[in-house]
Homo-oligomer: A and B are copies of this chain.
Amino acid sequence: MTQDFFTPVSGMELPRFAGVPSFMRLPVVPPGHARFDEVDIGLIGVPWDSGTTNRPGPRHGPRQLRDASTMIRAENAATRVRPFEAANCADLGDVGINPADIDDSMDRITAFYQRLVLAGIRPLTAGGDHLTSLPVLRALAEDGPLGMVHFDAHTDLFHSYFGGTMYTHGTPFRRAIEEELLDPARVVQIGIRGTAYDFEDRDFAKAVGVRVIPIEEFFARGVTDVMAEACEIVGEAPVYVSYDIDFVDPAFAPGTGTPEIGGPNSFQAQQVVRGLAGLDIAGADLVEVSPPFDTSGATAWLGVSLMFELLCVMTG
């Protein structure tokens, strides 16, 4: 019976365009639901972009990702993982953020994830902009700092914006390190590129021991080599995986607020996740999908395809 409840609806039975769209056609099991405690991995939306300094839109991400996710099937053809059989997965709904109050929103997000931690549920989050990761980490790192594998075009390690604003989508991991939610020696950032105002972020990374792998190095060494190093850096202790969709080249992921050309293609985007197999993943997120800039829906489809890959390494 439990088996049935947590099994996604098959498109062989109900067409994929039909039905109320939950993540990957899983049951919707919000906190308070009778079976909430049975969930192993929860898919959560954080429809929030108040930390965005440039082009807004990620607040619409979870809904578009849910829509696209109804095209996901049951098995990973490359790795043969069947995540929905390996763990009880469910759509836990969206966090009810406050679009006009950043501090209030962060508190609401942390509180939501604290309930997951209490219930032993590992989160796979659909953002939202990258500031989302900070309040999530506040809940997940209660027992000590986590390691992190971070795919992104940007380090998000800046100190502040606009004359002192501390909480934006360019600062979450600076804050997370300051708050000891992340252990900088166990953090690796992959795919960094684009223009910069200065290198304050990278100076900080160097000072605290965060490993930054620029895109040029990524392409020169290849996925396998880079991911081997990444796994070594984070080691066997619990690790958080944060995947900014702008890691991928904008031809593949146009729907995002701060695109940077010269990024990986979609096959490499999958491969890096498969390279995480074996890690102890405490949680993961896929952020910065911005539907208003995703004119063809391709970014959402890429995003949920990567969420599925993340789910497979979390359960495989």
Binding site for B on A (CB under 8 A): 10-22, 28, 45, 47, 49-57, 59-60, 62-63, 66-67, 71-78, 91, 93-102, 104, 161-163, 165, 167-168, 192-199, 214-216, 219, 249-252, 254-255, 258-263, 265-267, 269-270, 292-293, 295-298, 301-302, 305, 308
Partner of A162, one of B12, B56, B78: B12
Give min CB distance, A122 to chain B, whole Å.
20
Please report the C-alpha to C-alpha distance between residue A47 and residue B53 in the assembled complex, in whole angstroms.
12
Copies in the complex: 6
Q: A11-B54, A102-B100, A267-B219 are in contact. Are A94 and B18 (CB under 8 A)?
A: yes
Nearest residue, chain B, Cβ from A101: B165
Nearest residue, chain B, Cβ from A105: B162
Partner of A265, one of B59, B249, B305: B249
Q: Cβ of B20 and Cβ of A193 under 8 Å apart?
A: no
Q: Cβ of B249 and Cβ of A12 under 8 Å apart?
A: no
Q: Cβ of B63 and Cβ of A15 under 8 Å apart?
A: no
Give min CB distance, A49 to chain B, whole Å.
7
Q: Cβ of B15 and Cβ of A53 under 8 Å apart?
A: yes
Give min CB distance, A254 to chain B, whole Å.
5
A99 contact set on B, CB distance < 8 A? 15, 52-53, 162
Count chain B CB atoms within 10 A of each CB in A15, A19, A168, A197 and give the residue with the most. A15
A102 contact set on B, CB distance < 8 A? 100
Q: Cβ of B96 and Cβ of A258 under 8 Å apart?
A: no
Please report the C-alpha to C-alpha distance between residue A163 and residue B193 in the assembled complex, in whole angstroms.
41
Q: A18-B62, A100-B167 are in contact. Are A251 and B265 (CB under 8 A)?
A: yes
A71 contact set on B, CB distance < 8 A? 54, 258
A216 contact set on B, CB distance < 8 A? 78
Chosen A-B contacts, 29 in total, with CB atoms closer than 8 Å, are A10-B197, A15-B53, A15-B97, A17-B47, A17-B55, A17-B59, A17-B63, A18-B62, A18-B94, A20-B20, A20-B21, A20-B91, A55-B292, A72-B195, A73-B194, A74-B198, A77-B192, A77-B193, A77-B214, A98-B162, A98-B165, A100-B102, A215-B267, A249-B252, A249-B267, A250-B266, A250-B302, A251-B265, A262-B267
Give min CB distance, A103 to chain B, whole Å.
11
Give min CB distance, A23 to chain B, whole Å.
9
Q: Cβ of A54 and Cβ of B302 under 8 Å apart?
A: no
Q: Cβ of A12 and Cβ of B161 under 8 Å apart?
A: yes
Q: Cβ of B195 and Cβ of A53 under 8 Å apart?
A: no
A302 contact set on B, CB distance < 8 A? 250, 261
Q: A101-B162, A197-B10, A266-B263 are in contact. Are A17 and B74 (CB under 8 A)?
A: no
A100 contact set on B, CB distance < 8 A? 50-53, 102, 161-162, 165, 167-168
A254 contact set on B, CB distance < 8 A? 296, 298
A292 contact set on B, CB distance < 8 A? 55-57, 292-293
Q: Cβ of A93 and Cβ of B19 under 8 Å apart?
A: yes
Q: Cβ of A96 and Cβ of B167 under 8 Å apart?
A: no
